[in-house]
A and B are shown apart, each in its own frame.
Chain A
Amino acid sequence: MKRYIVKRVGYALVSLVLLSITIFLFVRLTGDPAVLLVEPGASQADLDAIHQQFGLDRPLWVQYGRFASSLLRGDLGHSFYYRTPVLELYLSRLPSSLLLAAAAMTFSLVIGIPTGIIAAVRVNRWWDSAGKIFALLGLSLPSFWVGLLLILFFSVYLGWLPSSGSGTAAHLVMPAFALGWYFAAAHMRLTRSSMLDVLGSEYVKLARLKGLPEALVIGKHAFKNALIPVLTLAGINLVIMVNVAVVVETVFAWPGVGRLLYEGIAFRDFPVVQATVILGGAMIVIVNLLVDILYALIDPRIRLDR
């Protein structure tokens, strides 16, 4: 068990290092990084100062050493626009993002799990086909378009919900729906296939042989076990939601990290853009690591296998 965890942590560390190298190289090799690191409209003297400050005339590995050590110290640079450290800025926006992601996740699970179960129990009936169409639509409609359509109907035509901003529960409804829509489809698909797996297993057959009513077989024996992979995916998806929310947050002017990224693009605030991608990647690597370890704790087959 210990060996397994050490190995996983090692992989995660390698991933984090490769991630920082990737970001570092993309900035350095695609042109003069000083142009990105200096504010738009800066003079040649400013450019030279940046070259000096970041040691851009030194060999690449020296530059990477500096870059990595500042990352380790939590220094992700200063925002040109807000004049504050980017990390502070990011952390101040994170609660909003998490709130939106939590709301979207709740919505996606409330829709995805029951429809998935019904589709699995009534496999190949019309409900299953309806579920398939729903899943396909969920995976095919771009979330920002869904958001724009929601605004058109509920804000412009009906006037029921505010089109942008945050603060009240009413502000949360449409962004959560637009963001959660795709994930509801994904969760439905997984619930369906997981439920089908479980329903074919020996212990469900036994429960049926014992003469348990079908509702009890599905509700008590199958449901709980079918839920494990779905909840794992939901855990990973929560982090992914924070990172894909950029378009939805832009549509609804929701003040999360996605909106921060959009402002980073709009104001040509490169440190913000760079920090968002580094932190996003790091978050996903860490969550994957946690899921791997959690799985090994639950399921001995995994830790003995490798």
Chain B
Amino acid sequence: MNGSRSATLTVAWRLATFRSEGFPTIPLAILGLLLFVAVFANVLAPHDPEVGRLGERFHPPFWQQGGSETYLLGTDHLGRDVLSRLLFGARVSIVVGFTAVIVAGIIGTALGILSGYLGGWVDQVIMRFTDTWLALPALTFAIFLAAVVGPSEMNIVIILVVVYWTRYARVIRGEVLSLKERDFVRLAIVAGCSKWTIMKRHILPNVLNSAIVLGTLMLGVVVVTEAALSFLGVGVPPPKPAWGLMLADGKKGLMAGYWWLTVLPGCCIMLMVLSANLLGDWLRVKLDPQLRQL
């Protein structure tokens, strides 16, 4: 009994100290909730998100006059249930956002390590490309790529990876350049490790923190870019429910005062991006105090 009680106390104490260090409870809870919603969207959604009833168009949310309990958050211009579309929209944002961030992170980190550690012409080639691609305005570049490859959910992920891997490569290369001069790497060289082993066993684990921090912060950027692309009509193709697409649809009813079609999807985007940014800021301080100026 005593043991379990002290264990509980320890856990409670830990939670308390976490809080005092600014542990991002709320952002994590929101991201967790979004993840949950994304996984179980088909169970949670009360209606089909892609099929509406034209007779039930522009119902306001239930608390407003004319709203009903059948459509808790109202309906859009095709009579589709907004709540169901928001729930399924979380799935799109989570899948696109996480996949793009992770794949771009792997590619960018790998190229950043190669570039920084090998130096010479490899570094020149990779960095000249990185600099050039960084100079391309991200959104314009993404729109151009979308115009070339055409819209689909898969293509959006590819586009976001192509546009954003450079951010990782730049930062990771800088880290590797300073790691390279550290004693443990020199010792590994003296001990006869191959370049490959050094990069994999000694450099990679040391840049992983930065990559994770950067990835968390990129999640917000990627989600906003995806929403912007969908909003402009080159992202997730309709009728699939994506938050950016819902905003584009909502714009049609904006002047008529159908506020819920604009406010609600935007709130979802904001919550996700804000949570990712708060989590990223916390991780940055927590994992890597030297990286505060990222």
Closest Cβ of chain B to A70, distance in Å, is 18
Q: Is A106 an interface residue (CB 8 A)?
A: no
Q: Is the CB of B262 within 8 A of A152?
A: yes
Contacts of B146 in A (CB 8 A): 265
Closest Cβ of chain B to A81, distance in Å, is 14
Q: How many residues of A contact B (CB 8 A)?
A: 51
Chain B stretch 232-291: residues in CB contact (< 8 A) with chain A: 232-234, 247, 250-251, 254-255, 257, 259, 262-263, 266, 269-270, 273-274, 277-278, 281
The interface bits of chain A over 142-163 (1 if a CB of B lies within 8 angstroms of the residue's CB, else 0) are 1011001101100111000001
Q: Is the CB of A284 within 8 A of B135?
A: yes
Closest Cβ of chain B to A155, distance in Å, is 7
Q: Is A36 an interface residue (CB 8 A)?
A: yes
**Chain A residue at minimal CB-CB distance from B225:** A142
Complex Cα–Cα for A136 and B137 (A): 22
Closest Cβ of chain A to B271, distance in Å, is 9
Q: Which of A85-93, A110-118, A215-223, A266-274 contacts B (4 or more CB under 8 A)?
A: A266-274
Contact of A36 among B132, B141, B148, B247 (CB under 8 A): B148
Complex Cα–Cα for A19 and B144 (A): 13
With contact pairs A140-B274, A152-B259, A277-B141 given, residues A251 and B148 touching in the complex (Cβ less than 8 Å): no
Sample (9) of A-B pairs whose CB atoms are under 8 Å apart: A11-B131, A139-B220, A140-B274, A148-B251, A246-B232, A265-B146, A270-B147, A281-B135, A281-B140
Q: Is the CB of B250 within 8 A of A281?
A: no
Q: Is A244 an interface residue (CB 8 A)?
A: yes
A-B contact count (CB 8 A): 139
Q: Is the CB of B224 within 8 A of A142?
A: yes
Q: Is A243 an interface residue (CB 8 A)?
A: yes
Q: Is the CB of A144 within 8 A of B247?
A: yes
Contacts of A31 in B (CB 8 A): 148-149
Contact of A261 among B128, B135, B143 (CB under 8 A): B143
Contacts of B135 in A (CB 8 A): 15, 19, 281, 284-285, 288
Chain A stretch 3-28: residues in CB contact (< 8 A) with chain B: 11, 14-15, 18-19, 22-23, 26-27
Complex Cα–Cα for A247 and B226 (A): 12
Closest Cβ of chain B to A14, distance in Å, is 6
Contacts of B131 in A (CB 8 A): 11, 15
Q: Is the CB of A15 within 8 A of B128?
A: yes
Q: Is the CB of B132 within 8 A of A22?
A: yes
Q: Could you tell me which A residues sit within 8 Å of B by CB distance?
A: 11, 14-15, 18-19, 22-23, 26-27, 30-31, 36, 136-137, 139-142, 144-145, 148-149, 151-152, 155-157, 163, 193, 240, 243-244, 246-247, 250-251, 261-262, 264-266, 270, 273-274, 276-277, 280-281, 284-285, 288
Contact of B140 among A163, A270, A277 (CB under 8 A): A277
Q: Is B9 an interface residue (CB 8 A)?
A: no
With contact pairs A14-B128, A30-B148 given, residues A140 and B139 touching in the complex (Cβ less than 8 Å): no
Contacts of A15 in B (CB 8 A): 128, 131-132, 135
Contacts of B110 in A (CB 8 A): none
Contacts of B208 in A (CB 8 A): none
With contact pairs A30-B149, A142-B228, A265-B147 given, residues A280 and B136 touching in the complex (Cβ less than 8 Å): yes
Known: A142-B273, A273-B143. 8 other contacts (CB 8 A): A15-B135, A36-B148, A246-B139, A246-B140, A265-B147, A277-B136, A281-B132, A284-B136
Chain B stretch 97-152: residues in CB contact (< 8 A) with chain A: 128-129, 131-133, 135-141, 143-149
Complex Cα–Cα for A285 and B133 (A): 10
Q: Is B227 an interface residue (CB 8 A)?
A: yes
